[in-house]
Amino acid sequence: MFYRLKFVIKGNDHLDNPPLNLQNGWNMVSFPGPIQLTSNTFLLRCSNMQVGCKAISRYINGNFDTVYYVDNTHFGNEFKIDKTSGYFVLNKGEQKIMQL
């Protein structure tokens, strides 16, 4: 005997570009929206918005790739940010909520 069931799951509306709540220290973040960023452009946007982001890291193929931003200079190999991965962001400033 088989029964046909219908499920409906309701939730909140999807935000294309949700804000990032960055605490002081290391933060685990993702970028689900249709945004095109690289590690360097993300850190530059943080700087322009007065957010104290100093590094962004990703874990890929058993290694961490990290880009640091110190005194308006990037250190490390720039990488593309994609919406299917998570990243660690180091905020050396106060807690900030930023909209990209």
Instruction: Give the total number of structural domains in the chain.
Output: 1
Q: Is residue 12 one of the residues assigned to a domain?
A: no
48 belongs to a structural domain = yes
pLDDT-derived band at 14 (thresholds 50, 70, 90) equals low
Residue 5 lies in a domain: no
- One-letter amino acid at 1 equals M
Helix/strand/coil percent split, the chain, to 5: 10, 40, 50
pLDDT reported for residue 74: 97
Whole-prediction pTM: 0.81
What domain range is 69 assigned to?
A: 19-99
The answer to whether residue 68 sits within a structural domain is yes
* Residue 8 in domain: no
Residue 67 lies in a domain: yes
Alpha-helical segments (H) within 1-100: 39-48
What is the pLDDT, as a whole number, of residue 35?
80
